[in-house]
Structure 1
Amino acid sequence: MPPFTLPLATVASAALCIAAATGALPPTLAFVFKPLTTLLVIAWAFTRGAEVPAQRRRILIGLWLSLAGDVFLLWPKEGFLPGLVSFLLAHLAFIAAFSVPLRFGARPWVFVAYGAVALAILSQLWSGVPPGLRAPVVAYVVCLACMAAQAAAWWRSAPTSTPARCAAIGGALFMASDSLLAINKFASPLPLSALWILSTYWLAQLCIAASLPARGSVRA
């Protein structure tokens, strides 16, 4: 199989899901293409990272938990909390993966920077978060910011490493996607929200999968 077959299939599936979510196609197709897109990311990640088995295992766990979150969020109201928990656990798995090449918290200033961004976003949304969701939302934001910060710290420690760069970009895109989702849910509806939220989300997941070195490549 050519190396970019699965990423291209992921992009095609994501486009169909976004079209369904925005009304360009029947909305029920999202129930097919949303989980399928993440399954394609998982399939691509599965072909990578043989040289780093511990990191590969943790990223795959994170992607499977993300798939569970995707399925829960097909029902936005009833599935929001279990979806949030699934993605929180996914971020913990990604943190564990990105802590293989670099000790967690080894670049404290990166965590301070991401924490400041997360706090600024959360402060703007806080009044719209229902009281019953505030504790899980805060826990989620902390895990998300730590995941993105650890990925960025890995890149700072190995600036020529392609896997580290992919991880850092994936972490930043994940924060962007979830920030857009939170704004849309707790502040004010965004035009074409599904397009921006889902496109940044799956680009993030592809980048995280790409943080596993391709078979036969040299890990930096």
Structure 2
Amino acid sequence: MTTTSWVLLGLTFAFALTDWWATWVGRVSVRYVAKPATLVFLIGVAVTLDPVDSKIRTAMVIGLLLSLAGDVFLMLDEKWFVAGLVSFLLGHIAYIVGLQLAPTSLGWSLVGLAVVVACVAVVGRSVVQTVRKTQPEMVGPVIAYLVVISAMVVSAFGTADPWAIAGASLFYASDATLAWNRFVDQRRFGPLAVMVTYHLGQIGLVAWLV
């Protein structure tokens, strides 16, 4: 980590905390600034740190940029939800590319596969079943997204790196909470849980680059 990276990381946490507070109290106007700003500064961290592999960093930065686009789309009207979904789906593909460029452990990949199979069985299946009943036109996009993010998590486990595994797992938890809260059962703490795990997950993936 460079000095600039540390400063930008501090700003990332400052805006993330602001967004968490705004999410909990319902300050939408504050979120319009804090939510994208968190990713902007985190992208700055990724760009300015000293990575183990510059090619991996490039793929991960592309994923972060697509995540930023997804964040913006999801703050807009409902009609932009699919655009946000597609942005994050493409972002996860970029993450998969970056994670697959690193040395891979078969054993840890199998552990990751077991984790995602369990999560799909417990949460994913219920989400897809509910979507099929209430919004059948969304079944295809939801399943496609579920497959891609699951592949990203397996790829992260395959690196055998604690930062990558923690980051991807938190991202998985964030999207699972978002899907459950949106399609199955809304909970008061849901939006906050989504953002806390999302931001920490993204930070973990960036930390893996060092």
TM-score, reference length from structure 1: 0.86
Q: Are residue 117 (structure 1) and residue 119 (structure 2) matched?
A: yes
Equivalent residue, structure 2, for 1:55: 56
TM-score, reference length from structure 2: 0.89
Q: Report the number of matched residues.
A: 204
Which structure has the highest helix share of the two? 2
The amino acid across from 1:116 in the alignment is: A
CA change 1:114–1:49 in 2 (3 A) is farther
Alignment of 1:193-204 (within 5 A): 193-204=190-201
Q: What is the root-mean-square deviation in Å for CA atoms of aligned residues? A: 1.9
Equivalent residue, structure 1, for 2:96: 95
Q: Are residue 178 (structure 1) and residue 175 (structure 2) matched?
A: yes
Q: Are residue 190 (structure 1) and residue 187 (structure 2) matched?
A: yes
> 1:148-169: CA deviations, max 9, x gaps?
11111211xxxxxxxx211110
> 1:3-37: CA deviations, max 9, x gaps?
5322222121012112222226x321111111100
Paired with 2:162 and 2:153, the residues of 1 have a C-alpha distance of: 12
CA change 1:49–1:55 in 2 (3 A) is farther
Equivalent residue, structure 2, for 1:30: 31
Equivalent residue, structure 2, for 1:208: 205
Taking only the aligned residue pairs, the percentage that are identical comes to: 31
Equivalent residue, structure 1, for 2:13: 11
Paired with 1:20 and 1:112, the residues of 2 have a C-alpha distance of: 36
What 5-or-longer segments of structure 2 have no aligned partner? none
> 1:46-98: CA deviations, max 9, x gaps?
12244411100000000000000000000261221110000000100001101
CA change 1:76–1:128 in 2 (3 A) is farther
Asked if structure 2 preserves the Cα contact closer than 8 Å seen for 1:104 and 1:150, the reply is no
Paired with 1:105 and 1:99, the residues of 2 have a C-alpha distance of: 12
Alignment of 1:109-188 (within 5 A): 110-129=112-131, 130-155=135-160, 164-188=161-185
Partner secondary structure for residue 159 of structure 2: helix
